[in-house]
Structure 1
Amino acid sequence: MKEIILVSFLLIFSLVDYRRMKVPNWMLFIFLFVVFLSFFNLENRGWTAIDVNSMILIFSLTFPGLYFSVFGASDVKILLIMALILSFSQMLDVLLYSFVCFAVYWWLFARGQKEAPFVPSLLVGVVASLWIL
């Protein structure tokens, strides 16, 4: 169930990010609300089930990237929400596949551009990590 919700939202975010190069905050708030309802309230997991190592990993990778304008704000927000529901090893897999996919995309299609959408690479990374498991 968790995987279907995550892939569905990432598919919608990928389409929006590819066309507009930005994911609106209201969509991210809906995603956070669904994550809160489905994973923390309905499954009776509570906030103690959050993997702190996963959050530290995302904080340490994304905030310097946000400061130096490598990541966009919506990319950081999506990764932080994903870190709430995925374990450390799952986040490592997703990040590895996402960065490889983004590097290939940048090399093939967006080499001369200043910006490129990262959320479609996240979608590929999540699907690849779920498929390989």
Structure 2
Amino acid sequence: MISILYSLLAIAAVSDLKYSKVSNEITLMILICALIMIVFEHSLMPDQSYQFSVMALVMTLLVCLPGFIYKVFGAADVKILLIISLLTPLSLMLDILLYAFIAFMLYWCIAVRDTKVHAPFIPSLLVGMGIAVWLA
């Protein structure tokens, strides 16, 4: 199930890179995959059971909502970050966000460098999630 989640995130990342938007159908499929993982108590971290963390959800909201209000994050970025925060404990969510922001900063410095161009965040989120889960 984790591989399906990563595959759906990869599809969302490619869509974000190509078209600068992610369809609601892809986001809905990611949500359904996450809900199935919650029901069957799968976790993103191997050899651990599912653990819901309200603090991970609240912290993600505190990071995402100001970014969404000031048009730094898109709606798909916020939705996918909230879906991922449902699956992770607080420590893993902090790691995911840290690595995602580092990957985004590197991508922006190398490829974009223009303040008027919106760089896609979901590919950076995919990289950050992969690194955080791999290191955990």
Q: TM-score of the superposition, structure 2-length normalised? A: 0.87
Q: Once the two structures are superposed, what CA deviation does each residue of 1:68-116 show, in whole Å capped at 9, x if it has no partner?
A: 0000000000000000111111110000000001001111110125211
Are 2:38 and 2:87, in contact at CA under 8 Å, matched by a contact in 1?
no
Are 2:53 and 2:88, in contact at CA under 8 Å, matched by a contact in 1?
yes
- For the residue of structure 2 that corresponds to 1:97, the secondary structure is helix
Q: Which has the higher contact order (CA 8 A, sep 6+)?
A: 1
Unpaired runs of at least 5, structure 1 = none
1:33-112 correspondence runs (5 A):
33-37=32-36, 39-43=37-41, 49-112=51-114
Question: Could you say if the C-alpha distance between residues 83 and 44 of structure 1 is closer, same or farther in structure 2, counting changes exceeding 3 Å?
Answer: closer
Moved over 6 A (4+): none
Count of residues paired in the alignment: 129
RMSD of equivalent CA atoms: 1.9
Whole-angstrom distance in 2 between the partners of 1:21 and 1:33: 23
Unpaired runs of at least 5, structure 2 = 44-50
Whole-angstrom distance in 2 between the partners of 1:131 and 1:40: 20
How high is the sequence identity, in percent, across the aligned residues?
38
